[in-house]
Amino acid sequence: MLIYNTTYFVAERQYSLWAKWIHEEHIPFMLKCGFEKPQVAKVLSPNSEQEGTSVTVQFHIGDMQQLNLWNEQHAENILSDMVKRFGVDVLAFSTILELL
């Protein structure tokens, strides 16, 4: 079992629109693609001068083969959609975690 984790840095002016997109569009799409157990968490930061919010969105997926297939078929489109909607107001990077 793997955890597919994406960390987003969201500008405050886009946060409510981004949160709506995550909950109403992105998470349902990912669930249709075979991901499970979505979790959304705010990253707590000691940097109070930060001009945005960092959030992680995590999903479970069975194995690397499933993840690679999803990556080939959907990852570029999701990134492109996010950039069209939010531009540089939302930045993201993903990591893959293996449950031990």
pLDDT tens digits along 5-34: 999 999 999 999 999 999 999 999 999 999
pTM: 0.88
pLDDT score, position 48: 65
Query: Is 85 within 8 Å of 76 (Cβ atoms)?
Result: no
CA atoms within 13 A on the CB side of 17: 11
Q: Which domains does the chain carry?
A: 2-98 (3.30.70.100)
Q: Exposure of 59 by Cβ count < 10 A (0-12 exposed, 13-18 middle, 19+ buried)? A: buried
Q: How many residues does the chain have?
A: 100
Given a cut of 90, is residue 83 above it in pLDDT?
yes
